[in-house]
Structure 1
Amino acid sequence: MARHGRWWGFGLIPALITLVGYVAAMAVLIVYAGDLASWATPFADDWAEPWRDIVRVTVGAAAVGMGGLLAMLTFTAVTLLIGEPFYESLSAKVEETEGGGPQGPDLPLWRELWIAAKDSLAVLLRAAGFGIVLFLCGFIPVVGQTVVPVVGVCVSGFFLTVELTGTPLQKRGLAQKERLRLLRSRTGLAVGFGAGLVLLFLIPVLTVLAMPGAVAGATLLAREIAPHEEPAEEPSDDDRSPVDGQDGQDGQNGPGSPYPYPYQQPSANPYQQPHPGEAGQGWQ
């Protein structure tokens, strides 16, 4: 991306759109957090003033915190969904600079968005399952404060890599189960790539700035684990070599003959057939 500034600017557009939408949603949530807390705690209407306020402030703060956490978890998926046409073009540019890649199936835009949404939802559900387990493990003394956060970053990194490599691997004809299997076979590479991005994406502004580079890096990773080979072209008739050392001259078979394939020219006598083993010699 540093060598292609225009691509980088092009790739910023979806992330900026997503960031503006998320900031607006968070602003609305913060403004109406008090009303939301009052709606969620009708049982506290008759409580004394200090306790009612403490409960509702706590509920409002928890709602804002959950909204921020949800925004962090879904930002990449939503950005990839909004920016599907942008990032597909960016990935194709990266493939082109590296020697070319598959064209992929020719699908309408709505069909590509539908497939991307289904794949993102499946990845999000898998990540949520691991997240629940890790959340419960966080209550284990010592381990929950040391090991679990590291494992959480690694798990998040793996699933972030699954998200980012979806477009280039899908172009190679790989369904999501096959993509997961392929990335699990290179777990170190997938986790190493994604974990660094997870730590970088903890800062919202850097998430926007780094997204084009993340897409380009994911394309290079896809080329690493699933190389694309151009199909070999079959030789045309003009490229066929002469048969049995014949050069096509003097009526012999070859590229210069109207009969370039491995059989003798027909005899002028329709009853005369070539003798096997004596090229050009006939027998009645």
Structure 2
Amino acid sequence: MLNALTALTRGTRLVFSPGLRRYVFLPMLVNLVVYAAGLHYVLGHFGGWLDGWMALVPGWLGWLEWLIWPLFVVTLVLMVFFSFTLVTHLIAAPFYGFLAAKVEAQQTGRAPQDERGLMRAGLDALGRELVKLGYILPRMALLFVLGWVPVVNLLAPPLWLAFSAWVMAITYLDYPMDNNAVSFAEMRRRLRRRWWPTLTFGGWVTLLTWIPLANLFLLPGAVAGSVLMWERHYRDQGPAGEALAPRR
């Protein structure tokens, strides 16, 4: 059985093999520029954001400040990195979709079902990313609001971690599914049916995003890993949940 960690390991080796590595350098450059600009901005504003949050803590909870402060720090850090990730993937989506198609063709010997030209694929990928944002942002806003509710905000860090894993699974596993004409709604249904492979894959990818600089090299491997996960866990699920006949 192909697990999430094996898929990511194999995927990273794949994208830097001859024939595929030329497709990863431009996404890596995009990520580098966005992360550098974002890090510069955050370092200049992080202290002010944290002071603003702490100023909103009601006086009757002052005795819990020793616990609330580190929870605010963790929540804010999670939100910042989560936002960085959304921005970088919005920009890099056309390149990642194209990379996923190349990996699928190399590994399976067949082109994706919805094979498109580079320009059309790029435009469609941007549209798909906007659909994803429409799904993610309201839920992200809800978590943000919960982070301001006294006592309830103690649950904010684990909720952000779980949500990040789910979003990373949606973000990466959507590349091969979009290439094979699986709708966004149907993609989410397939991910929910195989919730354990989905969350473990998303959790490992989330961890990769937290490794400074190394994530520039590892995230393209997550794209290839998503193709391997698609082939093993999701391709042969029918639209109503029934298993399809194995492909020959």
Judging changes above 3 Å, is the alpha-carbon distance between structure 1 residues 185 and 125 closer, same or farther for their aligned structure 2 residues?
same
Spell out the pairing of 1:192-207 with structure 2 (5 A cutoff). 192-207=200-215
Judging changes above 3 Å, is the alpha-carbon distance between structure 1 residues 213 and 164 closer, same or farther for their aligned structure 2 residues?
same
Once the two structures are overlaid, the 10-residue window that deviates more, 197-206 or 9-18, is: 9-18
Q: Is the 8 A contact 2:143 2:156 kept in 1?
A: yes
Give the whole-Å Cα distance in 2 for the aligned partners of 1:27 and 1:208.
14
2:17 aligned with 1:6: yes
Map of 2:29 onto structure 1: 17
Judging changes above 3 Å, is the alpha-carbon distance between structure 1 residues 87 and 13 closer, same or farther for their aligned structure 2 residues?
farther
Give the counterpart letter for 2:222 in structure 1. Answer: A
Judging changes above 3 Å, is the alpha-carbon distance between structure 1 residues 9 and 106 closer, same or farther for their aligned structure 2 residues?
closer
Q: Is the 8 A contact 2:104 2:111 kept in 1?
A: no
Q: Is the 8 A contact 1:104 1:171 kept in 2?
A: yes
Map of 1:184 onto structure 2: 192
Give the whole-Å Cα distance in 2 for the aligned partners of 1:73 and 1:202.
14
Give the whole-Å Cα distance in 1 for the aligned partners of 2:36 and 2:129.
23
2:83 aligned with 1:75: no
Q: Is the 8 A contact 1:165 1:219 kept in 2?
A: yes
Judging changes above 3 Å, is the alpha-carbon distance between structure 1 residues 137 and 29 closer, same or farther for their aligned structure 2 residues?
closer
Map of 1:173 onto structure 2: 181
Give the counterpart letter for 1:77 in structure 2. Answer: L
Judging changes above 3 Å, is the alpha-carbon distance between structure 1 residues 67 and 160 closer, same or farther for their aligned structure 2 residues?
closer
Q: Is the 8 A contact 2:104 2:110 kept in 1?
A: no
Deviations 1:146-176 (A, max 9, x none): x322222222221221221223223433111
How far is the alpha carbon of 1:69 from its aligned partner? 6.1
Give the counterpart letter for 2:26 in structure 1. Answer: P
In the superposition, the TM-score normalised over structure 2's length comes to 0.65
Map of 2:130 onto structure 1: 121
In the superposition, the TM-score normalised over structure 1's length comes to 0.58
Spell out the pairing of 1:1-284 with structure 2 (5 A cutoff). 1=10, 3-4=13-14, 5-6=16-17, 9-10=21-22, 12-23=24-35, 25-26=37-38, 70-94=83-107, 96=108, 100-101=109-110, 103-145=112-154, 147-223=155-231, 224-227=233-236, 229-230=246-247
How far is the alpha carbon of 1:222 from its aligned partner? 1.1
Judging changes above 3 Å, is the alpha-carbon distance between structure 1 residues 122 and 184 closer, same or farther for their aligned structure 2 residues?
same
* Matched position secondary structure for 1:107: coil
Give the whole-Å Cα distance in 1 for the aligned partners of 2:179 and 2:35.
33
**Structure (1 or 2) with the greater helix fraction:** 2
How far is the alpha carbon of 1:201 from its aligned partner? 0.4
Greater relative contact order, per chain length (Cα 8 Å cut-off, separation 6+)? 2
How far is the alpha carbon of 1:123 from its aligned partner? 1.0
Give the counterpart letter for 1:81 in structure 2. Answer: P
Q: Is the 8 A contact 2:96 2:220 kept in 1?
A: no
Deviations 1:68-111 (A, max 9, x none): 764333223322333433332123323x2xxx455323322222
Give the whole-Å Cα distance in 2 for the aligned partners of 1:9 and 1:152.
33
Give the counterpart letter for 1:195 in structure 2. Answer: G
Q: Greater CA radius of gyration, 1 or 2?
A: 1
Once the two structures are overlaid, the 10-residue window that deviates more, 102-111 or 210-219, is: 102-111
For structure 2, which runs of at least 5 residues remain unmatched after alignment? 1-9, 46-78, 237-244
Deviations 1:177-213 (A, max 9, x none): 2111211222222122102211220234132121132
How far is the alpha carbon of 1:218 from its aligned partner? 0.9
Question: Alpha carbon RMSD of aligned pairs, Å?
Answer: 3.3
Give the whole-Å Cα distance in 2 for the aligned partners of 1:174 and 1:27.
35
Give the whole-Å Cα distance in 2 for the aligned partners of 1:201 and 1:27.
14
Judging changes above 3 Å, is the alpha-carbon distance between structure 1 residues 207 and 6 closer, same or farther for their aligned structure 2 residues?
same
Map of 2:60 onto structure 1: none
